[in-house]
Amino acid sequence: MRILRNVVAGLLALWLVFVGIIYYEMRQPPIQFAAFISKMPWPLFLVLPFETLWNRARGGVLDPGSRAPDFQLPTLDRKSTVELASFRGSRPVILIFGSYT
């Protein structure tokens, strides 16, 4: 019984280390994470809480009512850029992320 308990504890420790490594990699830039995850065999996805890890790693740290981080985007005609901070204090800005379908 003691040997079984040690084996289970060892496997649990290895799984926690593995999940920690995956979580660390998820917090890296997308290109680095994609390179890492592309080398992972697909059966390992069955033992990972992938969606939970992904939501926590990429969820951000904004609270409701917080200011959005500043960013720049090209205009539709690609001739100039628009910066979010340029609208601060002048008018409300609504940011919509997601699919339009």
Quick one: angle between helices 50-58 and 2-26, nearest 10? 40
Question: Could you tell me if residue 40 is inside a domain?
Answer: yes
Tell whether 8 is covered by a domain. Answer: yes
Q: For 53-86, how does the pLDDT look when each residue is reduced to its tens digit (9 = 90+)? A: 888 887 777 778 887 788 888 988 999 998 988 8
Owning domain of residue 43: 2-58
- Is residue 53, in this structure, part of any structural domain at all? yes
Domain count, the chain: 1
pTM for this predicted structure: 0.56
Please tell me the distance from the alpha carbon of residue 49 to that of residue 70, in angstroms, as a whole number.
32
Domain-located, residue 86: no
**18 part of a folded domain:** yes
Question: Distance between CA atoms of 52 and 56, rounded to whole angstroms?
Answer: 6
Sign of CA dihedral 38, 44, 48, 50: positive
**Residue at 9 is within a domain:** yes
